[in-house]
Each structure stands twice: as C-alpha cells, then as structure tokens.
Amino acid sequence: MNTLRRTVAALAVAVAAAGLTALAAGTANAMPTDFNCTSGQLTTKLVYGGAGAGNREGFIQLTAKPGETCTLPASLPVDLVGAHDVLVNQLPADGPAVQLTNGSSAYIPLHWTAIEAPAQQQTPLAIDVTAPQETTPRGDQSDPQISVPWNLGDVDASAASHTIDVGAVTPGLAPAV
C-alpha cells in the first residue's frame, strides 16, 4: 500500500512538472498580438486618390511585412517636409485600432486643394508618419519616423486654403483611381 501511494505521488509530481514546463515553453514562444507597430514592421507608400474641382485626395498606405503582426492606433502623427507654408490638420480620430498581420494593410486618408496660381503652390519633398512603437516584442528597435517621398503634386499654400487634412487609420488597401 505504501509503495502504491509513493508511486501515485511520484506520478502526480511528474505530471505537474510536465504541465508547468509546457506552460512555460508556450509562454516563452508566444508573441503578443496587440503590440503597436514599429516602422521596421511596415512598408509604406503614397497612393493617388484622384482630383476634382480643385480638390486632391491621396492615401498613406501602411502594410505589415511578411510574418509581422502589430496594431496601429486610430490616429498617427503626420508632418510634411519641404512645404513650409502648408499646414497639416490632424482630424479627430476616435475609431478603433487596426491590427495588421502578414501583408495586410491600412491607410490614412489625405485631402488638400491645389487651385491657386503656381506662385501660391508648394510641392512637399516628403510626408512623415510617426510609428507608435520603437521596439518589437522580439526586441528589434527602429526609428519611429517613416518618411515617404511626396509624389502627389502641388499643394495650395495660399493663406486662405493651405492645409492637408489627415484622417483616421482605416483597415484595408487604399482606394486608388
């Protein structure tokens, strides 16, 4: 009877130890799925969205690199490079965060005018987006600043209408014309 108790007790200890080892291994290998994106996890490009009646549309498209999973908040800081008279107007973004995984995309809508005389227009050199995170769950670090060369034409720089409106991060591919 004593031998049977010792055998059962030893078996119970072995099963508990095996369970803890499996739990620890699973935890060590798991990556969080709600980790904010770094610039190193994304590819970024500008997409032309069309023009009409002096208005222009474009999009900043952000795509997760293969094997990457991360989250973008509803709003990302955006700034222009090289168009000193054009202001960036970040529209309120109360929407949900967008999860990107393994090649999926999200976009940021841009709207501006380009109707003034050429002397009152400026062409930005680039548009900068700041990624919400600098370090991945694996510990990889990257500069949060993402700079995309501007290829969407002139922007009205007159005092009456000199802004680019920036919308919320939206899941999916940028609508292109």
Q: Please, what is the average pLDDT of the chain? A: 84
Q: Which token pair is 119?
A: 């002397």
Radius of gyration of the chain (CA): 25
Q: What is the pLDDT of residues 112-167, one digit of tens each?
A: 987 767 778 899 999 999 999 999 888 999 999 999 999 999 898 888 778 999 99
Closest C-alpha among 99, 116, 117 to residue 171: 99
Q: Which token pair is 122?
A: 């400026």
Q: What is the pLDDT of residues 52-100, one digit of tens each?
A: 888 999 999 999 999 999 999 999 999 999 999 999 999 887 889 999 9
The one-character DSSP state at 135 is: B
- Listed in sequence order, the residues at least 6 apart from 126 whose beta carbon sits closer than 8 Å to its beta carbon are 80, 81, 82, 147, 148, 149, 150
Contact call for residues 172 and 105 (beta carbons, < 8 A): yes
Element (H, E) at 14: helix 2-29
